[in-house]
Amino acid sequence: MEVEWLYPMRRDMQEILSGLYLGPYNVATKSRFKTLLDHGITHIICIRQSIEAHVIRPNFPDKFKYLVIDMADSWTQNLISHLPACRNFIDECLETGGKVLIHGNLGISRSAAVVLGYIMEKKSMTFKEAFEYVQIRRYCINPNDGFKQQLLEYEMIYKAQRTLLNGQSSKEKGKLKRKHDQTLEELDGDQSEPMEAIS
C-alpha cells in the first residue's frame, strides 16, 4: 500500500486502518465539513491541551460524536493513561459501522501516539512494527521521545494483560469442565479434609 508521500499530504487525513483516520486539526475545521462527510466520519477524537481549547475544539458537536482528550505534546505527559478511553471510543465507533478521525494539532505526535497504541494492541504488534505500519500511510508521524518510550513500555503492558486474561479464561474453562465431569458422589468425596468442630 506504499504511496509516494508529498509534503502537502500532511494537511490531509489518511486512513490507517479500515474506518480509522489520522490527520491534523485543520481537517476538522468548519471549512472542511464536506471532507469529513465525504469520508464518512461519524466520530472524532480531539486531542489538545487545555490552553489550546480556544484554538483546537470540537466544531460540530451536533454532527459527530466527540471524545476530547486533554494532553500536552510534552515528553513528561502521561500517554498510557489515556489509551483505554481512546480504545473504547474507537472500538464503539468501528463496531457500529462508523468511521473515526483522530487529530491533535498537526497529526504528527499526540494523535499519532494514540493511533500507534491502538494498533499495537489490536494487531499484536511491537512498537517498531506499528510505527512502520502507520508511517507507510502517514509518513510525517513523529511522536515525541516521551511518547515513544511509553509506547515501548505499553508493548509489555498490553502483552502481560493479554496473557493474564487468557490465563484466567482458560483456568475458568478448566474449572467448569472439571465440575461438570464430576458425579455428585465425587463432589461429596472432595471433602477429604474434615471440618473442625466449632467450639
Question: What are the strands, taking DSSP E only, across the chain?
Answer: 14-17, 20-23, 43-48, 65-70, 100-103
Share of the chain above pLDDT 90, in %: 73
Decide: pTM greater than 0.85. no
Which of residues 123 and 180 earns the better pLDDT score?
Answer: 123
Q: Supply 183's cell numbers.
A: 458425579
Confidence bin at 172 (pLDDT 50/70/90): low
Sketch out the chain's domains with CATH numbers.
7-157 (3.90.190.10)
Share of the chain above pLDDT 70, in %: 82
Q: Mean pLDDT for the chain?
A: 87
Task: Measure the CA dihedral 66/67/72/76, to 10°.
Answer: -160
Q: What is the phi-psi region of residue 70: left when phi exceeds 0, alpha when psi lies from -120 to 50, beta otherwise?
A: beta
Q: What is the mean pLDDT of residues 17-24?
A: 98
Q: Do residues 120 and 130 lie in contact, with contact meaning Cβ atoms separated by under 8 Å?
A: yes
- Mean pLDDT lowest for which of 135-149, 150-164, 174-188? 174-188
Q: What is the mean pLDDT of residues 32-48?
A: 97
